[in-house]
Amino acid sequence: MNLKLSLLIPLIVFLLTGCAPKNEPTKEFTFKNESENWEATISGTYSRGNSDIFEETTGIFTYKGEKDIRSIDILTYTSGTEFMRGTEANELSTEQSIETSFDNFGFWEDYEEGKKIILEFEWREGDRNTKRKEKMALELME
């Protein structure tokens, strides 16, 4: 009886470890685009564990215009969803850019489902505080 049990236990352990869901390798990605006044990049890593999903991303939005910015609102979302994330600033850094993190936003899964990553920029610029708007969809960089 002990011989059967000693053979059965390793067999059960082998079957359980062989059938357990595997962790997928980490996927690195970068989405990018530019418009007349803005250059946008969202890059990060995506990984899926047994049942957990983790995405760590950073967005960098760079102003290409000539006039000083008084305030900026950037709305980030994916097509077909109602979840949006806003980024706000009253001024830009010396590099004329804003950097923000979007941990677990779901960019990669939304991209795999055919959804577009959309950014809407609304800002005020110059001495007259002129209100400007632009909208763009980001593309995956291969």
Rg value, the chain, Cα:
23
Residue 104: the pLDDT is: 83
> 36 to each of 14, 51, 64, 71, 135, how far by Cα in Å?
59, 42, 7, 18, 10
Instruction: Please name each of the domains of the chain with its CATH number.
Output: 22-140 (2.60.40)
Which residues sit opposite 39 in a β-bridge? 34, 62
pLDDT digits (tens, 9 = 90+) for 89-109: 777 777 789 998 888 888 888
Residue 1: the pLDDT is: 55
Helices (H), the chain: 2-19, 107-112
Residue 3: the pLDDT is: 60
- Yes or no: say if 53 and 40 are a contact pair by the CB < 8 Å rule: no
Place of tokens 């760590």: 56
Q: Quote the pTM value.
A: 0.76
Residue 20: the pLDDT is: 47
* DSSP single-letter state for residue 113: T
- Yes or no: say if 129 and 123 are a contact pair by the CB < 8 Å rule: no
Please, what are the averages of pLDDT over each run of 10 residues along the chain (142 residues)?
60 56 78 96 86 84 90 88 71 82 86 92 90 95 88
Which residues sit opposite 41 in a β-bridge? 32, 60
HSE (side-chain half, CA atoms, 13 Å) at 25: 3
Which residues sit opposite 77 in a β-bridge? 84, 118
